[in-house]
Amino acid sequence: MQRDNMMHGARTALNQNQEIRDWCENFLKSQERVTKPKMSDEEFEKHWRYHKPEIMHAGAADAVQAYKNAFPKS
């Protein structure tokens, strides 16, 4: 249940702040790219376009946490 709450909060942050959403999307895209080294750039872009919604949903909490770690509040 706690994981669901974290994901919901992260998805809300992504939906309300375009800067965070863009950063998190690039973060998750680069992570996904590492897992698909044999794909050409063109193949990967097609893969990303198709799987982006589920990857963004599943990785929202981790991506937002990575964003917070990259840009800590002073």
In the chain, where are the structural domains located?
2-70
Residues 6+ apart with CB under 8 A from 21: 14, 15
At 48-60, the pLDDT tens digits run 999 999 999 899 9
At 3-61, the pLDDT tens digits run 566 777 788 878 898 999 999 999 999 999 999 999 999 999 999 999 999 999 899 99
Do the beta carbons of residue 63 and residue 28 sit within 8 Å?
yes
Report the alpha-carbon distance of residue 18 to residue 4 in Å, rounded.
Answer: 22
Which pTM was predicted? 0.86
Residues 6+ apart with CB under 8 A from 56: 14, 24, 25, 28, 63
Angle at 13 between CA 6 and CA 23, to 5 degrees: 105
Distance of CA 48 to the CA centre of its chain: 11
